Amino acid sequence: MKRMGSIAAGAVLLLLLACYLLLFTVDETEYAIVTSFGKPVRTITEPGLYWRLPAPAQTVLRFDNRLQIFDPRPTENFTLDRKNLVVDSYTCWQISDPNRFLEKTQTMAGAENSLAVLVASQLSTELGAHELSAVVSVEEDEVQLDSIMRTVTERCREVALDEYGIEVVDVNIKRVNLPEENKQSVYQRMRAEREQKAKEYRAEGEERATIIRADTEKQQREILSAAYKEAQEIKGEGEAQAIRLYSAAYREDPEFYRFLRTLTAYEKILTKDTTLVLSSESEFLKILVDFDSTTFSDPLAPETSTEQAE
Amino acid sequence: MSHGRRVGTSFARQSGRGTFRAMAVLSVLAGLAVYLLSGVYVVKPEQQAVVVRCGKAVPGVVLPGTHYHLPYPVGEVFTLKPNEVKSVKIPDGPFFSDAGAEFITGDENIVHVALNIQYRVNDPKAYVFRSTEVDGLVRVAAEAALTDTIARTHVDDLLTSGKQTVLTRVKGLCQADLRSWNTGVEIISANFASVSPPAEVSDAFKDVASALEDKDRIVNEALGDQNQALHQARGQAHQTVSEAEALRTGNANRATGEAARFRRVLAEYRQSGGRDLTRARLYIEAMEKILPGVRKYLIDSPGGASR
């Protein structure tokens, strides 16, 4: 009974030891290579529980299969039209072929060193084949930054997979800038553009204001002249009506009208500033000098004359 | 005595050994229990968990509640908060500062832009296993999207009305990258913290803004003047027409009145029989009115003047 217990305990311990020595797990986040005295014998790319011979007969090498970001220092590149650009790129990559990676690269730092050279050269080749307007432009059909970066990614991917066992997932540009020494001239150009724009806006304002003022004057004249026209028509109408009324009345006895109207006119014309030279021969004064009751018949004698004095 | 002592000793030894064994078994069992119980874990209401067994992820995610997994090293649990909003700032710097990074616009202007990106986990497994630096992936994806978008945008659009268009495109590009990389996160929002021209030329940009205001002001002044002038003109026009109408009425009335007066006088004149007499009377009356106010010279017929 006692012995059985001891044996059971021993067996359990032995089993645990065997587990420890013979079993190992591969995580979701890694690939593994089982090596025998340095020589790879088995590659494991699926996570799970696996067995091996105890060390030193077999050892397990693990490789992180997660997505890595490689963010090198910005590099200066020339475009086809000899413009200098400071390009800050990044590369997303992961280990895809652990055997090749083990063979060629071994470490993550080694992989980054290889990528740095590869990406920089592909980037400079591809940017050097395009003009600046392919990177930076307001013309939608000129900008090819995305296709340029697809090409760079594609080329890096081919090389890296064969050479380093790395999958380049994406190479892209984080930031494009101009070299410090070029910025002053850019600022000057920006300032000139802004000044021109400000002038343009103000001139536009003046232009519209002038148009509005001219339009105002035009409308003003239209309104006033239309009113004048209407007024003249109305006045003419009034005058015509008056003439009609007058002539209708006066036609009944024109001679009498002329007589009456002349008398009225005299009253207005002959004022205190008038000097009147009257002949005693006139009908009106005849009586004054030579009264004859028979001759006093027509007071409207033609001898009476008037003249204006100063 | 000694025998009895020996018996006693051996009993004591025996019972001591038994106790020891019992203790050992108990402690082993207790240890085993503690070990097995270490597999109990709680997922809080705002959390979800991903469970790993022998290195392999167990299908599905674990929802809030108390759960059990096989203890370490066989099993492992990763908890995360899928609805937690995480933020990334561009450029990388203290979160309260709005100082932007330099970007180049489509018309080769330099602008300073600061962007905030918010994201959350939408695929816990991918989030846990795909990368160690999801923040970094979001940042580079957003930065690349921003560079690409600003490189196609006019500086005026970026500074004024085109902001939303830029943000929508940045969000779309960034989301597409993160999805193709299978990072297990989604972008909630992209917002500018600041967009400004470089300090070296900011006064020139401000002058453009004030030029725009000047433009509006000049135009509005002209419109105001127009309004006033046209109102004035309409008033004046109305006055002119009214005056003409008054004149028309006046003329008509005067003519009617005078015609009526003439007719009355004429009627009397015709009736009176002695037409000459009436004419003479009218003439003399007129002379009476006129002559007192007039300077007169009387000439007698053969010659010689008298006053």
Q: Under DSSP, is residue B208 helix (H, G, I), strand (E, B) or coil? A: helix
List, in order, residues 6 or more apart from B90 with CB less than 8 Å away: B101, B113, B114, B115, B116, B117, B139, B142, B143, B146
- Assigned fold of B86-197: Tetrahydropterin Synthase; Chain A (3.30.479)
The pLDDT of residue A294: 55
If asked whether residues A93 and A168 sit together in one domain, one would say yes
Q: How far apart are CA A66 and CA B125, in angstroms?
A: 13
Residue pLDDT, tens place only, B141-165: 999 999 999 999 999 999 988 999 9
What mean pLDDT is predicted for residues B183-202? 92
Of B278 and A71, the one with more pLDDT: A71
The answer to the question of residue A309 being in a domain is yes
Same domain, A131 and A105: yes
Q: How many angstroms separate the CA of residue B87 from the nearest CA in chain A?
A: 18
Verify that A169 and A132 share a domain, yes or no. Answer: yes
What are the residues whose beta carbons fall under 8 Å from the beta carbon of B42, sequence distance 6 or more? Answer: B65, B66, B67
Question: Which residue positions in chain A have pLDDT lower than 50?
Answer: 296, 298-310
In a domain, A155, yes or no: yes
Q: Does residue A176 belong to any structural domain of this protein?
A: yes
Residue A105: predicted pLDDT? 86
More reliable by pLDDT, B99 or A170: A170
Q: Are residues A22 and A99 in the same domain?
A: no
Closest CA to A308 of A263, A283, A284, A277: A277
Q: What number is the ipTM of this complex?
A: 0.71
Query: Residues A52, A118: one domain?
Result: no
Asked if A49 and B54 count as a contact pair (C-beta separation under 8 A), the reply is yes
Quick check: B62 pLDDT over 80? Answer: yes
Query: What amino acid occupies position A154?
Result: E
Residues of B in contact with A248 (CB under 8 A): 259
Q: How far off is chain B from A78, nearest CA to CA, in Å?
A: 16
- Indicate the number of domains in chain A: 3
pLDDT value for A308: 41
Same domain, A128 and A47: no
> How does DSSP classify residue B100?
P
CB count within 10 Å of CB B301 equals: 11
Question: Does the beta-carbon distance from A145 to B151 stay under 8 Å?
Answer: yes
Domain contains A39 = yes
Contact B288, A277 (CB under 8 A): no
pLDDT at A218: 94
Residues A73 and A177 in one domain: yes
Enter the pTM of the model: 0.72
> Looking at the structure, do residues A56 and A127 belong to the same domain, yes or no?
no
Residue of A48, A174, A241 with shortest CB distance to B144: A174
| Residue of A96, A216, A273, A290 to mutate for B, most B C-beta atoms under 10 A | A216
Same domain, A72 and A167: yes
A33/A83 same-domain check = no
CA distance B160 to chain A (A): 14
Looking at chain A, the number of H-run helices and the number of E-run strands are: 7, 10
For residues B229-238, give the mean pLDDT.
Answer: 94
pLDDT digits (tens, 9 = 90+) for B70-83: 887 788 889 889 88
Contact B147 A176 (CB under 8 A): yes
In a domain? residue A257:
no
| Residue after which a domain boundary falls, among A123, A151, A184 | A184
Last residue of a domain, one of A184, A214, A237: A184
Residue A298: closest CA among B38, B280, B88: B280
Mutate to test the interface with B, among A79, A96, A212, A310 (most CBs of B within 10 A): A212
Domain range holding A36? 16-63
Are the beta carbons of B266 and A256 separated by less than 8 Å? yes
A140 with A175, same domain: the answer is yes
Spell out which residues of chain B touch residue A302, defining contact as CB-CB under 8 Å.
none
- Among residues A184, A207, A241, the one where a domain terminates is A184
The model's pLDDT over A18-75, given as tens digits with 9 standing for 90+, comes to 888 888 889 999 999 999 988 899 999 999 889 888 878 889 999 999 999 999 999 9
What confidence score (pLDDT) does residue A292 get?
54
Q: What is the pLDDT of residues B2-24, one digit of tens each?
A: 444 454 455 555 566 778 888 88
The residues pairing with B114 across neighbouring beta strands, listed in sequence order, are B194
What CATH number has the domain bearing residue A103? 3.30.479.30
Same domain, A93 and A74: yes
> Looking at the predicted structure, is the pLDDT value of residue B48 above 60?
yes
Q: Which residues of B touch A238 (CB under 8 A)?
A: 244, 247-252
The residue with greater pLDDT, B292 or A237, is A237
Smallest Cβ–Cβ distance between A279 and the set B55, B133, B301 belongs to B301
Q: Is residue A28 part of a domain?
A: yes
- Is B273 or A154 the better-scoring residue by pLDDT? A154
